[in-house]
A and B are shown apart, each in its own frame.
Chain A
Amino acid sequence: MQLTLINFAYLVASVLFILGLKGLTHPRTAVRGNLLGALAMLLAVVVTLLDQRVVTFEYILAGIVIGALIGSAFAARIPMTSMPELVAVFNGFGGIASVLVAGAALFEATDLGASSVRFTISTAASGIIGAVTFFGSLIAFLKLAEFVKKSWSGGAIKMLNVLLSLGCLGASAWLVIEPGSYEAYWLAVALAALLGIFLVVPIGGADMPVVIAFLNSCSGLAAAATGFVLGNNILIIAGSLVGASGLILTQIMCKAMNRSLGNVFFGGVGDAATDVGSDEEVYAGKVKSTSADEVAMLFDTARRVVIVPGYGMAVAQAQHAVRDLANELETRGIDVEYAIHPVAGRMPGHMNVLLAEAEVPYEKLVEMDVINPSFQQTDVVLVIGANDVVNPLARQADSGPIAGMPILDVDKARTVVVVKRSLSPGFAGIPNPLFAADNSLMFFGSAKEAVLDLVAAVKES
């Protein structure tokens, strides 16, 4: 097929990608949006196969069949709690594909003796960003799947990362000066691989949403860089859309934790020494424990109940029980809503998916800024498996790791019931005065059993 026609088809595919993303602006149109994106991909692939430069098809077909089988097997089976791991792996795959394509393009161009500065710079960029994405995602995956639980941090790693970044730049410069040197390219890739590993190694569980969003952005930028290598507009357009998307999500996540991206990567959690009081000072004699029957009585007189789900709820697989409780309350004429903190869960929007899976209608899931003013008119708040995102200490300037972090103002409600195993701290590692507040009741137990008990108690009353 003629190049003009192919490029025209790429333009159509680009438009479809944009319309597809636009579809994602509302749950009603989202399914169609995603299908438009898939259609765009199909169109781009088909017209590429008609390109005159493509002369053998065996390898391509084999590759596509293998890839499609693996991809669909993953997609069909993955549980929703493991969504962050899956996205991390897919991010990584996109990254490594860019490394390989740029590498292959370098071999071809060198043999043909046609390498411009544009070509070498973008080849280096494609290899470096792609390798950081792949190896960073690999570490993120290992951490999310809890194969690796420790986080190593410290000045040595920061120093090493600076050196590795400089090394990447040096190797790129070598490639630009000597366009034919494969060694330079693979050296840059190797250094970038180490950089990816050591960037993510120091990052702890609470910061994972930021890292996943950031790597998402990188996978897009790697694709865009490959587009620069090949002079291919569809790669540039699709890649930069993804890059922008990941960047916005990164920014939202950082804001939700009141931290900068630099702080996440280079700060380390809990650096600032703080004096927020020990557990004993905060909790001694003030924590009131409650029972299912007592909470059911509270619900009896309540008109508005807000449920605050945290990652603990998802780990305990309690979302179905929570939905049953909400349904039971609604049949009694109680207004029930869910308050979703932006960093609830392990990736942006994770909690929404987990609740959607339990068939909670999406209108019931209310974001932080919208629901916060309504806590004063709320009779009962039920906090399930959340901790740092409802810690009132965040409003104090000197509260260390969570200072200034926007929180759900649950302490403004008439009564707060906290379902939790014990008084142990969250990721931030500081006590939560909410648990000792006058209007708080602790309902100790595992999330699932506690909620099931509540459902039974409500049914009886």
Chain B
Amino acid sequence: MEALVAALTVFVLAVFVGFEIITKIPPTLHTPLMSGSNAISGITLVGALLSAGSEHSELATWLGMAAVVFATVNAVGGFMVTHRMLGMFKRRD
């Protein structure tokens, strides 16, 4: 139970930080925000690495590896496409 409360504390505080920052992001950048934050949700990769790398059972390893592929697509693709998009936003010269 102790661990649950500790995790909840981190969760709730992070949600507040998220709200504070995201509300300041202008509508012009909402699409890059979505693709960029989407890439951040690829953080599941960390969990996937732990499952795929620990020699526990074969099934867990395979599940983990599939998760590594999906999460890497999400993270790498997300950051790259966001970078490509943001490069298009220019000021008037």
Contact = CB atoms under 8 A, between A and B. Distances in A.
Contacts, number: 390
Interface in A56-92: 56-57, 59-60, 62-64, 66-68, 70-72, 74-76, 78, 80, 83, 86-87, 90-91
Given A21-B37, A31-B86, A228-B7, A244 B19 contact: yes
A: interface residue count bin: 35 or more
| Most chain B CB neighbours (cut-off 10 Å) among A118, A232, A367 | A118
Given A101-B67, A216-B38, A353-B88, A41 B31 contact: no
B41 A37 contact: no
A139 interface: no
Contacts of B93: 361
A224 B46 CA distance: 12
A208 interface: no
B65 A349 contact: no
Given A21-B22, A24-B32, A244-B18, A59 B77 contact: no
B10 to A, nearest CB: 5
Interface of B is mostly: helix
Contacts of B71: 67, 93-94, 97
A34 B43 contact: no
Contacts of B59: 104, 107
B86 A63 contact: no
B52 A31 contact: no
Interface string A113-124: 000111000000
A231 B90 CA distance: 42
Nearest to B45: A45
Given A44-B46, A235-B43, A24 B19 contact: no
Given A30-B29, A44-B45, A241-B40, 18 more contacts: A18-B21, A21-B18, A34-B79, A63-B66, A68-B72, A76-B84, A93-B73, A94-B70, A100-B67, A118-B4, A239-B41, A242-B38, A340-B27, A350-B31, A353-B88, A359-B88, A361-B90, A367-B27
The 5 closest A-B pairs by CB, nearest first: A67-B72, A244-B18, A349-B30, A71-B77, A63-B68
14 contacts: A20-B40, A34-B79, A66-B69, A71-B72, A72-B77, A96-B67, A96-B70, A98-B47, A101-B51, A101-B67, A104-B64, A107-B57, A118-B7, A245-B34
Interface of B: 1, 3-4, 7, 10-11, 14-19, 21-57, 59-61, 63-93
